[in-house]
């Protein structure tokens, strides 16, 4: 799994939390950190070849930066089918604002986890989306 933030987000605590959670769930994780430019995300996806890309946002620009990043990722023929999800604080208006889910799904994300929804939905998604070879590798 590859964990990243969007290009404008300098927060790292969320990335460390996700890395530890995914490792606890039995997955190998590459955390490429905060303020990740779209080009670096694409390069790392090619280098690591993850089963899932998890993008996290805390600064409220996840919908804007995430839409651009996933469109650029989906434009790459070799990465077009790579599962990519996003979650966290996706807009600056907070949890009471309209959902960004439909917009982000239309941009190319496979799943969207809105701020305030908690981690249980994300855990269920990862559990049900894990590739069979991960489930039988003894890592779980």
In terms of phi and psi (left: phi > 0; alpha: psi -120 to 50; beta: otherwise), the region of 30 is beta
What would the pLDDT profile of 59-85 be if each residue is shown by its tens digit?
989 999 999 999 999 999 999 999 999
The residue ranking higher by pLDDT, 118 or 131, is 118
pLDDT of 29:
98
User: Is the model's pLDDT at 140 over the cut of 60?
Assistant: no
Q: Residue range 108-133: average pLDDT?
A: 85
Count CB neighbours of 28 within 10 A. Answer: 13
Q: How far is CA 3 from CA 50, 93, 96, 104, in A?
A: 10, 24, 26, 18
Average pLDDT over the chain, rounded to whole? 89
The residue ranking higher by pLDDT, 47 or 137, is 47
C-alpha–C-alpha distance, residues 80 and 22, integer Å: 23
Q: Which residues contact 36 (CB under 8 A, 6 or more apart)?
A: 4, 5, 6, 7, 44
C-alpha–C-alpha distance, residues 56 and 9, integer Å: 9
Phi, psi of 113 (to 5 degrees): -120, 100
The whole-model pTM stands at 0.89
C-alpha–C-alpha distance, residues 34 and 15, integer Å: 8
What would the pLDDT profile of 4-51 be if each residue is shown by its tens digit?
999 999 999 999 999 999 999 999 999 999 999 999 999 999 999 999
């Amino acid at each position: 799994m590859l964990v990243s933030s969007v290009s404008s987000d300098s927060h790292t605590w969320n990335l460390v939390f996700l890395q530890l959670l995914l490792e606890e769930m039995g997955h190998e994780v590459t955390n490429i950190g905060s303020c990740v430019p779209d080009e670096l995300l694409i390069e790392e996806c090619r280098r690591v070849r993850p089963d899932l890309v998890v993008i996290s946002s805390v600064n409220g620009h996840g919908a804007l930066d995430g839409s651009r990043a996933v469109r650029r990722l989906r434009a790459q023929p070799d990465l077009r089918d790579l599962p990519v999800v996003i979650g966290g604080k996706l807009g600056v208006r907070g949890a009471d604002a309209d959902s960004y889910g439909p917009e982000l799904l239309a941009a190319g994300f496979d799943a969207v986890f809105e701020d305030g929804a908690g981690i249980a939905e994300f855990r269920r998604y990862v559990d049900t989306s894990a590739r069979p070879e991960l489930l039988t590798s003894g890592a779980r």
